[in-house]
Structure 1
Amino acid sequence: MNSKNRFILINLLAFEFVLLNVVLTICFLFKLPDFSLSHTAILPKMLSLIAIYNITWLVIIMYIRNSEFYFNPDFGYFKSIITSLFFFVGFVMSVVILLKIRYFERSTFIVPIFIFSYLNLVSHKYLLRYLKKRAAHLFSDTLLIGSGYDESNIKSFTNAMTQYGYNIMGYLENTEKKPKNVLDFSVFGSIDDLPKALNDNGIDEIFIAMGGMKHEKIMETIRIADSFGVRVKLIPKNPLLKSKNYKAVTMGDLAVFKLRESPLDHFSTTVLKRLFDFCFAFLVLLFLVPVFLIIAIVIKIDSKGPIFYSPLRKGEGGRTFKCYKFRTMHVTEDPINGARSTVVDDPRITRVGKFLRKMDLDELPQFYNVLKGEMSVIGPRPHRVNLQNDFRKSVNHYMVRSYVKPGITGWAQVNGWRGPTVTDEQKNQRVNHDLWYIENWSLWLDVKIIFLTIFGNHHKKAF
């Protein structure tokens, strides 16, 4: 992070610090109308609570927020605020319980956090816009260097980078001829003009598009930038596979790009997701014991046969496991060789089964699979063996789904791609949504999918 972005970030954090303490003071005063500075018992307790809030906020800033959120006023910052809200409430309440602070009501601890989070979320976008208009000089002036630029790709690049605190000053083409200044930039020309451009303009960073440039030219450009103390970012040639996350690692003297990098490839995030899955599944099974008993009784009354149906499904790494469900059909197929998919108005479905399927209650026993570690609460839905073989032949990149554990619900399901997979569109959309989830996983995304599964209207594309 360069000095200009760091300065903006410090100002935004200073604003949050002032906002937090103003909200705390106002909330405490409203809770204590008879408050007096001479009251020796109340003042130390209030100051200790304010200290707890401020320390918690600092921890959240250090370990949860990502600096890029502060320069992107859209979904990224919203996700950061909501995630911080959960950690804020949990941490503060834990400290209050451990320290046995009983003087204030419980609402006194939580209400300021919600008010602060709401005001922070609403005000941040407008504050950032104000800084962009009134203090444009604080944003990083950048220069784009490379080959084959036209109006469309330069404009899209400019629009994307301005969201992250960059001000694109212009571009230099890797050509001896002077290019056309398609967007009326203040700096443009050939790559040989780089020393003059850096000398005459306060450029903070340059982006080098490596496609079409010789290795020697790239190294010379970097050397020139280094001589002016200008930071360099490299843009590799467009990859063959479209993916959001590419991670470069150095092995010997070569740079290696890891394709389809997922946040779940890291040990810490894997542990976090597993802890969330285990705790959530345990609580669901604990609180729904009466519901399980009722469902079991009505299944036995409605039709002959076992209560549970345990077909074999494919999971993480292609491993096979028993997927537990409530039985919803009169005749249960062989779990190993069964190949018949459910169809609309399937005559095999029982009366109770229709209700269980409509409300998705037949999937509840899969929380036991989550406890065993065979499934996750959120992830790609597990498929039958024969269906997986069919998908592998007809859908590109299908097996990438097996990078992670299958889930009880997933991103494809809450976006309406559930039920039959007969058409090519149904197959491709389900797989594309699953791959998007794998590359963009976050704890906040899992919480969002759970919320949409319970309250969202995601059944419209199923049939």
Structure 2
Amino acid sequence: MRHRYSVLFFPLHVIIDFISLNVGFVGGYWIKFGNIEPVSRFPYESLWIAFNLVWLVEIVVFKPYIFPRQLFKLDHLLKKLVLLVGIHMAVIAIFWVAVKGFYYSREHLLITYVLFITLASLFRLGGLLFLREYRTRGYNNRRYAIAGYGKLATTIRGFYDAHPEMGFHFCGYFDEPTAENQAHLTASYAELQHHIQRNEIDCVYCCMPYVDNEQLRAIVDSAEPANYQVKLLIDFRGFLAKGTSMEYHDFLPVINVSSQMLLDFRINVLKRAFDVAFSTLALGFGSPLLLFVAAMTRATSKGPVLYAQERIGRGGKPFTIYKFRSMYINSESAGPLLSAGTGDNRITPWGRFMRQTRLDELPQFYNVLKGDMSVVGPRPERQFFIDQIVEVAPEYKDLFNVKPGITSIGQVKFGYAASIEEMVERLRYDLLYPKRRSFLYDMWIIVLTVRVMVQGRGK
């Protein structure tokens, strides 16, 4: 039977995680207080409900239980679990502040998350071992055929034969018969559709060197009505059309041309959720520091506390950025000028300290909440300087594909730029971000930024 019991995997995974979450919550309460009866009464009743609602929203938004079999590995499952728990903790922290729930036990929350991660990890390990054994024995199969016979075709078959735990069952080679390949073929292209229907094929791998465009178009056009996937197996890298996704079978790149949610969309949704949570916490818990910096800015030099300036954001769209004023007023009366670094006499003594510790950037968390910026991303520039940079380095326009950020790898590794040449030099770092962006990469940049702030090494 086709994918027997596969439909049960998703709800079973959801149920197990909810059981783990609630066992962790109740178990944490028992470990902390030695009694579980009060956990269902005020004030912990509302926290318990919030725990479940937040996890439910994460499931709906991020769809964490949908992934290809090639990624069904323990490290991938645990990374996704830790990521979801991190977001859950951030949202619960916001809830805590919103309801002023300072009567909640921090130890209880810590124990809850430790128990939840432990139980959920054990269930994932057990489920992984069970499914691998189950599929190795020939159950829960995905049937695949290969169009175009040659070296790549035998290589992909060899990959799945070497990994029976993935549960892929080979159903034949299809090509135009020749004297060289006829002994290996199951049938010709003319019989492929009939074979797909009769054997309930789930996926057809098309080996591009051996399948011409006409045959490929016929296979793709028939995919949706016949309910099978089409994947292109190629012998070169870098072929990625819009709306496709890449998989790797050992050293072989496989391009999936079936309709799937783009990875970029998932990254953007996750990044926006993190930006909102992080900025809310930063503005909430950092409000005493913000007030202190504002008071010092006002006391040490004449002029407004905040400095507003137009910058260019994602897609080339202008927006207003906010900073604590670090220069004397009317410093740019003669026109736009770049800062000359710590020796710039336009910078106030207090402003020099703010720049070294990055405190002048704190108001930009408001820009993040508005959606103009992200916590991590290439630093935005003024159009006046962008025009000059593009003349020297046209690749600067690639940065318009992502939101600008409060901090960036260029800001950490290079710092403020005092000339167009230095801007271009810093660009070498920032151009890495759109290609490498991920949650862990953002966390790494934030950690580096905090270190710069603590050490006062900003330049």
TM, length-normalised to structure 2: 0.64
Q: Which residue of 2 aligns with 1:392?
A: 390
Distance 1:195 1:33, change over 3 A: same
Instruction: Return the offset for 1:65.
Output: 3.5
CA deviation string 1:363-395 (max 9, x = no partner): 224345456665444433111334312443444
Q: Which of 373, 381, 384 matches 1:383?
A: 381
Instruction: Return the offset for 1:347.
Output: 7.0
CA RMSD of the aligned region, Å? 5.9
Q: Distance in 2 between matches of 1:9 and 1:28?
A: 29
Q: Distance in 2 between matches of 1:175 and 1:316?
A: 49
Q: Distance in 1 between matches of 2:349 and 2:367?
A: 26
Q: Distance in 2 between matches of 1:308 and 1:25?
A: 47
Unaligned runs of 5+ in 1: 36-40, 181-186, 249-254
Q: Which residue of 1 aligns with 2:230?
A: 233
Distance 1:188 1:43, change over 3 A: farther
Q: Distance in 1 between matches of 2:292 and 2:164?
A: 49
- The yes-or-no answer on 1:453 pairing with 2:433 is no
Q: Which residue of 2 aligns with 1:263?
A: 265
Instruction: Return the offset for 1:449.
Output: 5.3
- The yes-or-no answer on 1:291 pairing with 2:292 is yes
- The yes-or-no answer on 1:67 pairing with 2:96 is no
Distance 1:393 1:273, change over 3 A: farther
Q: Distance in 1 between matches of 2:90 and 2:414?
A: 35
Q: Distance in 1 between matches of 2:143 and 2:17?
A: 28
Asked whether the 8 Å contact 2:62–2:270 carries over to 1, the reply is no
Secondary structure of residue in 1 paired with 2:380? coil
Asked whether the 8 Å contact 1:145–1:172 carries over to 2, the reply is yes
Q: Distance in 2 between matches of 1:271 and 1:395?
A: 29
CA deviation string 1:275-311 (max 9, x = no partner): 55874564367332333145415743xxx88766555
Distance 1:188 1:417, change over 3 A: farther
Distance 1:271 1:130, change over 3 A: closer
Instruction: Return the offset for 1:433.
Output: 1.0
Distance 1:324 1:455, change over 3 A: same
> Where does 1:269-308 land on structure 2 (aligned, <5 Å)?
276=277, 279=280, 282-283=283-284, 286-293=287-294, 295-296=296-297, 299-300=300-301
Secondary structure of residue in 2 paired with 1:408? strand
Asked whether the 8 Å contact 2:312–2:380 carries over to 1, the reply is yes
Amino acid at match of 1:111: I
Instruction: Return the offset for 1:337.
Output: 3.2
- The yes-or-no answer on 1:131 pairing with 2:131 is yes
> Where does 1:219-368 land on structure 2 (aligned, <5 Å)?
221=219, 231-235=228-232, 246=243, 262-263=264-265, 276=277, 279=280, 282-283=283-284, 286-293=287-294, 295-296=296-297, 299-300=300-301, 310=308, 312-328=310-326, 333-334=331-332, 337-340=335-338, 342=340, 351-368=349-366
Amino acid at match of 1:232: Q
Asked whether the 8 Å contact 1:72–1:163 carries over to 2, the reply is no
Q: Which residue of 2 aligns with 1:120?
A: 120
Instruction: Return the offset for 1:355.
Output: 3.1
Amino acid at match of 1:453: T
Secondary structure of residue in 1 paired with 2:204? strand
How high is the sequence identity, in percent, across the aligned residues?
21
Distance 1:188 1:58, change over 3 A: farther
Distance 1:407 1:105, change over 3 A: closer
Q: Which residue of 2 aligns with 1:143?
A: 144
Asked whether the 8 Å contact 1:392–1:398 carries over to 2, the reply is yes
Amino acid at match of 1:430: D
Q: Distance in 2 between matches of 1:395 and 1:63?
A: 38
Q: Which residue of 1 aligns with 2:253?
A: none
Q: Which residue of 2 aligns with 1:183?
A: none
CA deviation string 1:391-417 (max 9, x = no partner): 434445532433554321246556x46
TM, length-normalised to structure 1: 0.63
Q: Distance in 2 between matches of 1:458 and 1:148?
A: 61
Distance 1:58 1:233, change over 3 A: same
Amino acid at match of 2:265: P
Asked whether the 8 Å contact 1:278–1:371 carries over to 2, the reply is yes
Asked whether the 8 Å contact 2:389–2:423 carries over to 1, the reply is no
Q: Distance in 1 between matches of 2:38 and 2:108?
A: 14
Instruction: Return the offset for 1:313.
Output: 2.7
Asked whether the 8 Å contact 1:20–1:116 carries over to 2, the reply is yes
Instruction: Return the offset for 1:116.
Output: 0.8
Asked whether the 8 Å contact 1:281–1:370 carries over to 2, the reply is no
Distance 1:384 1:140, change over 3 A: farther
Distance 1:67 1:334, change over 3 A: same
Secondary structure of residue in 1 paired with 2:311? strand
Unaligned runs of 5+ in 2: 246-256
